[in-house]
Structure 1
Amino acid sequence: MTVSASIPKPRKRSRLRLASGIAYYRLLRYWQWLRMNSHVSSKRLQQPLPYLVHTHRTPLLRKLQDVDMWLQHNKIVNLRIASRRIHGVCLRPGETFSYWRAIGKPSRRKGYLPGMLLHHGKVKVGIGGGLCQLSNLIYWMTLHTPLVVTERYRHSYDVFPDAGRTQPFGSGATCFYNYVDLQILNPTESTYQLCLELTEDELVGEWRSDSPCPYTYEVIEKNHWFTQELWGGYVRHNTIYRNRFEREGTWIDEEFVAENHALMMYEPCLPEGEGTRT
């Protein structure tokens, strides 16, 4: 059974309004980081911890409608820089991982290049663009571990139609420095380690641990539906759950993960195979 969730028509904000809002929320984030300073993950190990908990990989290059390929090649450079910043970071018991605190602000001085950004459902160019692929990867892997996602932002717009999708809609985590963050808490008694690598054609991630994980997880989608708003736009909805199993395969329980609502930037009934998802 689905529940209706209306989304108001997007409003265009002035540049001054947008700039002041960004400055305000960034200050709030800096203040939060100061308050949680002693509980933020900071230790890094180059040597991988012995137990693999979950791994995932995503392609570096995709053919996207109306997106120049040079933006994706720049994205690879940006992903390589950001991944090196957080490769090997350890999340000890009681600590929190903050995506942006660990990576820092993307800038030209650090080597970041102009890449693809999504702003109000439109493709734009900005320094450090493309890092959402990394936050998406980390979020998806975390759903397959006992770690707890304490802060995550869904994509407000569904920009590209599905083509070859292997994960449920709404299973990513958008990011924008520094207040649209991804934060992950370790409530266990084990230490977890995030390992990242860029191969020739894939971004590869792992969550590893210093002890075997007692569970395995399956992430599933429920209640996937579309609505047309009174103002004319189409909205895509779903809910994400995960099943937890003992290592030998015995089902334990089902947990609600997230509810997603995204404004569609394409017609909901495109012919099969038309367009490509990020």
Structure 2
Amino acid sequence: MTIILDPRTTGAPATAVPPVAPAPSGAPEAPDWLLRHARLPLTRRVPWLLPVAVRIHRARRRLLWWTAPLRGVRFARRPDAAARAALADPEARRAAFGVRVARHGSLLRRDLDPAEMVWQENKVVNLGLAGARLDGVVIRPGETFSFNRLVGEATRRRGYLPGMRLSQGRAIVGVGGGLCQLANLVHWMVLHSPLTVVERSEHSFDTFPDRGRVLPWGVGVSIVYNYVDLVVRNDTEHTFHLTVGIDEPHLRGELRSDSPLPHSYRVHARHEEFLRYEGSVYRRNEIWRTVIDRVTGDVVGEELLKRNCARVVYEPDPARVRDVG
């Protein structure tokens, strides 16, 4: 997986997004960016290093959280019960946060083998528990939103159930499975706001075909407590309010602001392609954001948000695959 870090929040140097070579024609050699993605990471070549690396990453993240005040980092917190109750009424919420910035919904269940539906139902339970930790969170100017700090660790003791989650391109069963769907929903709404994505990780594999896909490929988020996180910072003068919850058959969310924003945003993918290299298929694209003036409706800018590349674990349409190398 790829992790993008911002030094102001993590204390680590920012990771530069490598340039992507223009798509060549004919029968080209594999470009450098593809060679980098085709190379197995050290923890897959030497599996016994993985638990050691996980312990190191978790200890480092705990240290970063503990020392956050020394670096001037203020984390958004869950409001207390009185504050949540005051904003529980939709009219009160609209009065305090009168501008709807973004909203989104995703289906809670996929069409799977009947024997696997138990994991889908467990996922709904997990999403309800985690969503309750995020529902009502207020992100004030200068504050940082951390998915993992707010949701906490998904354990059996806290009521989480075994559900499906992705690992190395395969769907496996694990306690707390399905929380990436909640992170995906929050991330998609954030992309339609002026909030700054400080840290975000995606899955290293393209696991499912595009059948029924609503969002562009490459905007998803991977979550592993506590070191693989979705971190967002409010660099604006506006205060934002997040609501999420189960509304059968959907997981729904809404992001609101306390005052009007100058721009709206449209997020889309460009330069989609499938490349076959040494027997494996890789998918790449670019995620762009169009910035629109809310008053005039004019396009005032475009931003390249992310370049994606991942190994494909299903067989795509052969007509869309180009051989390289």
- Describe the SS at the equivalent of 1:62: coil
CA distance in 1, matches of 2:48, 2:114: 29
Q: Counterpart amino acid of 1:100? A: N
Instruction: Give secondary structure in 2 for the equivalent of 1:152.
Output: strand
User: Unaligned stretches of 5+ in structure 2?
Assistant: 1-21, 25-30, 88-92, 320-325
Counterpart-to-counterpart distance in 2, 1:247 and 1:78: 37
Answering whether residue 61 of structure 2 is matched by residue 29 of structure 1, we say yes
1:68, CA displacement in angstroms? 1.0
Q: Which residue of 1 aligns with 2:19?
A: none
Aligned to 2:201, the other structure's residue is in SS state coil
Within 5 Å, which residues of 2 pair with 1:1-278?
Answer: 1-2=22-23, 4=31, 5-6=33-34, 7-10=37-40, 12=44, 16-37=48-69, 38-44=73-79, 45-46=83-84, 47=87, 48=93, 49-64=97-112, 68-230=116-278, 232-248=279-295, 249-269=297-317
If the length of structure 2 is used for normalisation, what is the TM-score?
0.79
The structure-2 alpha-carbon separation of the partners of 1:234 and 1:65, relative to structure 1 and needing over 3 Å to count, comes to: farther
Q: Identify the range of structure 1 (57-66 vs 24-33) with the bigger mean alpha-carbon deviation.
A: 57-66
Residue by residue over 1:175-226, the C-alpha shift from the partner in whole angstroms, topping out at 9 and shown as x without a partner, is 1111110000101001111111101210001111111222110001111111
TM-score by length of 1: 0.92
Name the structure, 1 or 2, with higher relative contact order (CA <8 Å, separation 6+).
1
Q: Distance in 1 between matches of 2:109 and 2:315?
A: 24
Q: Secondary structure at the match of 1:71?
A: helix
CA distance in 1, matches of 2:287, 2:47: 35
| Higher mean C-alpha deviation, range 216-225 or range 58-67 | 58-67
CA contact (8 A) 2:78 2:150 kept: no
Deviations 1:2-22 (A, max 9, x none): 374212254635664221111
Cα distance in 1 for residues equivalent to 2:298 and 2:135: 33
Q: CA deviation at 1:64?
A: 4.0
Q: Percent identity?
A: 40
Structure 1 unaligned regions, length at least 5: 272-278
| Alignment partners' CA distance in 2, 1:262 and 1:66 | 29
After superposition, the CA RMSD in angstroms is 2.0
Distance in structure 2 (CA, Å) of the matches to 1:65 and 1:243: 39
Range that drifts further, 255-264 or 29-38: 29-38
Instruction: State the secondary structure of the residue aligned to 1:22.
Output: helix
Q: Distance in 1 between matches of 2:115 and 2:254?
A: 29
Q: CA deviation at 1:270?
A: 6.9
Aligned residue number for residue 4 of structure 2 = none
CA distance in 2, matches of 1:141, 1:152: 14
- Do the aligned partners of residues 76 and 30 (structure 1) sit closer, same or farther apart at CA in structure 2, a change above 3 Å counting? same
